Structure 1
């Protein structure tokens, strides 16, 4: 009798294990992309303070933040697997229903953040402010289209 219960329990565990593993992977993907987005927000915030003049402009720091944002801009996209629209997330189903549009928004951030790195090296505050605005707008446009508030 104990062997039958043990085998039955083992069979149930083997059947359910992939579901639990998938749930863990989804939770991990959500946590990862949220962390990357927070890091993006942190770097944007530091640059915004310099652009607005609330913090003294520091070229080396601004370039560094721009470079980090550029790196981060390519990181979160693979962490949107199917099924990760549920749980502790504000991601809209449109991410998976409109993948081409989502991809376009992702590529726009990658493009604009790369431009920001180049402009940041110029020391031309007019160009820096403009490109910072363009980069920040790509974030806002994606959130408006694909994130619940």
Structure 2
């Protein structure tokens, strides 16, 4: 009975170890950053679309946070695709690096423009729609070319 229990515990531990991405791997790090980016951008978009109350100071800090986050995931894409894990990145990320980097820089420019738009006073939600749309379009463009859905 003890042997059977020990075997079941070992089996359970083995199965749980196979199910995830190492959070310290490049893939795990970029996935965590992309999840943070999504949460922040959803909050910003939610404020402009009426799902969340528009709070100017919260919007300003969210835009600054997004601008910082958007500059970090690219360093976690190694020159050669890592083996293993369930990445949603298409092989084109590594085959078309110049285009991938171009879209990354365009997204960074979009978040920088959003931060600049938050410096205008008084801060009006209507004035932030176009800069947020530019950021969302940047995300969408990269996803369409380089993300497997």
Fold-level similarity (TM above 0.5): yes
TM-score normalised by structure 2 residue count: 0.79
Where has structure 1 moved over 4 Å in runs of 4 or more? 24-27
**In the alignment, what sits opposite 1:111?**
109
Show the 5 A alignment for 1:4-23. none
Secondary structure at 2:43's aligned position in 1? Answer: helix
* C-alpha displacement of 1:87: 2.0
Match of 1:102 among 100, 116, 124: 100
Structure 1's unaligned 5+ residue stretches are 1-23
Show the 5 A alignment for 1:8-47. 28-47=25-44
**In the alignment, what sits opposite 1:52?**
49
TM-score normalised by structure 1 residue count: 0.79
CA distance in 2: counterparts of 1:46 and 1:35, whole angstroms: 17
Work out whether residues 66 and 116 of structure 1, in 8 Å CA contact, stay in contact via their aligned partners in 2: yes
* C-alpha displacement of 1:124: 3.4
Secondary structure at 2:139's aligned position in 1? Answer: helix
Is 1:93 equivalent to 2:91 in the alignment?
Answer: yes
CA distance in 1: counterparts of 2:89 and 2:68, whole angstroms: 22
| Count of residues paired in the alignment | 126
Structure 2's unaligned 5+ residue stretches are 1-20
Q: Over alpha carbons, which structure has the higher Rg?
A: 1
CA distance in 2: counterparts of 1:25 and 1:42, whole angstroms: 21
Secondary structure at 1:121's aligned position in 2? Answer: coil
Is 1:127 equivalent to 2:127 in the alignment?
Answer: yes
**In the alignment, what sits opposite 1:74?**
71
What's the C-alpha RMSD, in Å, of the aligned pairs?
Answer: 1.9
- Larger proportion of helix: 1
* C-alpha displacement of 1:86: 4.5
